[in-house]
Chain A
Amino acid sequence: MEIALQYLINGLMLGVMYGLVAVGFTLFFGVLDVIKFSHGDVLTVGVFTGFATYLALKAAQVSSPLVQLIVLSIVAMAAMAALGALIARYLVLPLSGAPALNTLLITLMLGTVLREGVRLGFPDGSNPKPFPALLPTTAYTFGHFTLRLDSLMLLAAGLAMIVAVHLLINKTKLGLAIRAVAQDGETARTMGINFTAVVLITFAIGSGVAAFAGVMNGLYYNEINFSMGLLLGVFGFSAAVVGGLGNIYGAILGGFLFAGLQTIGAVALPFASAYKDVFALAVIIAIMAWRPTGLIAEKSSERV
């Protein structure tokens, strides 16, 4: 029983992280019909930026963990929002006329540049770096089940972020504009919405959320390394696809679904968690074979 609870907490954490990354993918696709494969690596750059901020704060004698946490999160999210907007402005928007494959290739290569950039640019980048434990680590024990306070806080923060994004998209004017552009870009333009601005803002939001997910990941595992974004990106994208690209709830659902799959794989398979990634990836391929555009089918029309 307690073991099940342990797995549950872990699964929820993973689900929140995948969900946050998936939200980014789904936003980009909804708005521009483009898959930005570098999203996972933007997450990596984000968390390394946060880490660098932390080091700078430490050097500047700022020692309160709360202040450090808030500042590094804000810096990471803001920096990645800017990076996301830049990528949209210079690499994605200019290619909106070209075949989708070119955009895919460019973002894939960009992801590699970002990943290698972190590895080469950050001092001693190829080694995993210990991420500071900035949240209180008191542990509560119920019988055999131990829950650390920071895990709980991270979970709460992740869920709060998801709710925030939901509110942004559905209850604000900006969200209305984003949804309009996602539905039909041309009509939105004729309605007076600044297409470019909305696209840039969407990319900024998505990338900022990814940075947040990265910082969460760093706080949870107390470690960051330059290739952490790759697998997160693949799983995040799969989660978005499974939930139906363009659908935010689908993305979040997909995230939890994937985390659930991995956890079940870790529990049920006799060789423990070694095979859980293999299992999850195999399921992705199977789902794509069965439902090529996700569980909630994409409503698209093609110009013949």
Chain B
Amino acid sequence: MATSPNVRSPLPALVWAAAATLYGVLFLGAESQRALGTLLAIAAAAVVLGARFGLVDRIRASIGGNERTFDIAAVAGVLAVAFWFHEEHFIILMMTTALLLMVVALGLTIQFGYAGVVNFAGAAFLGIGCYTAGVVTKYTSLPSFLSLPLGGLMAAIIGSILILPVLRTRGHYAALVTIAFGILFKVFLEVNDTLGGPQGIQVKPIVLFGWNFNSPIRIGDFTASFYFSYLLLALILLVLSFALVRRLERSWIGLSLDAIRLDEIASACYGLNLARWKVLAFTLGNFLAGTAGAAYGHVLGFIAPNNFTFGDSLILVSIILLGGLGNLWGVAVAAAFVVILPEKFQVIQEYRLVLYAVLVILILLFRPQGLLPRQLRDYVPGAKPQSTHSPAEERV
């Protein structure tokens, strides 16, 4: 398996993308619980065997060396699955939700995975975005598309209330502050009538250049569910966020954030302005969450304070912990898993909070880096064929 350091065959990566797409189609389309169980067993077996025979490393190296190809393949895969199920409302809705939650998880990754800033109010920032979308479409006459950047902006601005406490606290104190904020957000919405109170509010659909996002797409013989427009929007958002976060990670900014996370005192000694980088990470993460939230509000069409409880924030934290703190693809896979699995397996729908909590406990006890651990920083993408779990990376 010796290959020259800078040329990696894209073949394993492409095969992996195709296999994942096929699996996605089968999984989403499966009707009976038995079919689903079989598919899950196949996936588990594939993972174990793959690790055994070094396939996982080969795929990883291939992905690392052919990033752009793999990105395009991934997007093509998602589009393929979407077109396959173009008329199934519920499946398209599920995919859209998963894509939007991935964006939120990316935001949380910047905060937690890179800068080490805990945020247990992720659902609250998502909610700020949703309610901004509702207010923009209901009370103002601004073009509805603006709700997306406005949602992000509102989340960032309201998040800045927390900046001072977050900067000055550490560890469990910081956790308390964000937990308190998350609960405050929900309680505030419930008692305040102008934003609908516990009843919630309607969020009107996006209308862009006269095209109402809520109408089904009909081109000739081809009809698509009316969630399809939102799916494309979510995909675009995800691609943009993913690119942004990856660029960020590989830049000086990312390096600074990592340094701050790993050792604040040392970073300060080296001249890094702790406050500036933490504020940047926190605000940017909230902005992403708010933008995704605005889109989510439009997709749902109706939001209530009950959508944004502490439990939902914990689910978001579970996503980034399960996927591997700081690993973007891992986070994406975990988000898809967390959203789609309980919908398909009706049986676990009620148990999903417990299930995720137990999984996270197990991971924290036995594999704190997450399912797909974050790789050591690649200065030349794809050059290092193996990941080493250095002690520095163990400290999450």
At the interface, yes or no: A176 with Cβ under 8 Å from chain B? no
**B residues contacting the other copy or chain, number (CB 8 A):** 43
Question: Provided the pairs A99-B395, A120-B350, A271-B191 are in contact, do residues A278 and B184 lie with their beta carbons within 8 angstroms?
Answer: yes
**A residues contacting the other copy or chain, number (CB 8 A):** 43
Asked if B357 contacts A105 (CB within 8 A), the reply is no
The 8 A CB mask of B344-386 against A (1 = contact, 0 = none) is 0000001101100110110011001000000000000000000
Asked if B164 contacts A101 (CB within 8 A), the reply is no
Q: Give the distance to chain B from A121, nearest Cβ to Cβ, in Å.
A: 10
A-chain residues with CB within 8 Å of residue B358 when the two chains form the complex: 109, 113
A99 to B310, CA, bound (A): 23
Q: Which of A113, A234, A289 contacts B165 (CB 8 A)?
A: A289
Question: Provided the pairs A98-B368, A104-B172 are in contact, do residues A289 and B361 lie with their beta carbons within 8 angstroms?
Answer: no
Asked if B175 contacts A116 (CB within 8 A), the reply is no
The 8 A CB mask of B162-178 against A (1 = contact, 0 = none) is 10110011111101110
A29 to B165, CA, bound (A): 21
A-chain residues with CB within 8 Å of residue B168 when the two chains form the complex: 288-289, 292
The 8 A CB mask of B294-323 against A (1 = contact, 0 = none) is 000000000000000011001001100100
User: Within residues 257 to 304 of chain A, which ones have a CB less than 8 A from any CB in chain B?
Assistant: 271, 274-275, 277-278, 281-282, 284-286, 288-289, 292-293, 302, 304
Q: Give the distance to chain B from A166, nearest Cβ to Cβ, in Å.
A: 25
Asked if B191 contacts A112 (CB within 8 A), the reply is no
A153 to B238, CA, bound (A): 59
At the interface, yes or no: B187 with Cβ under 8 Å from chain A? yes
B-chain residues with CB within 8 Å of residue A112 when the two chains form the complex: 311, 314, 353-354, 357
At the interface, yes or no: B231 with Cβ under 8 Å from chain A? no
Asked if A99 contacts B396 (CB within 8 A), the reply is yes
User: Within residues 156 to 196 of chain B, which ones have a CB less than 8 A from any CB in chain A?
Assistant: 161-162, 164-165, 168-173, 175-177, 179-181, 183-184, 187-188, 191
At the interface, yes or no: B118 with Cβ under 8 Å from chain A? yes
A-chain residues with CB within 8 Å of residue B396 when the two chains form the complex: 99, 101-102
Asked if A289 contacts B164 (CB within 8 A), the reply is yes
Q: Which of A241, A275, A277, A286 contacts B176 (CB 8 A)?
A: A241
Q: Give B314's nearest chain A residue, CB to CB.
A: A112
At the interface, yes or no: B265 with Cβ under 8 Å from chain A? yes
A-chain residues with CB within 8 Å of residue B183 when the two chains form the complex: 231, 234, 277, 281
Q: Give B317's nearest chain A residue, CB to CB.
A: A105
The 8 A CB mask of A228-272 against B (1 = contact, 0 = none) is 001100100110010000000000000000000000000000010
- Enumerate the 6 nearest inter-chain pairs by beta-carbon distance, A residue then B residue, closest first: A274-B191, A281-B184, A289-B165, A35-B172, A112-B357, A109-B357
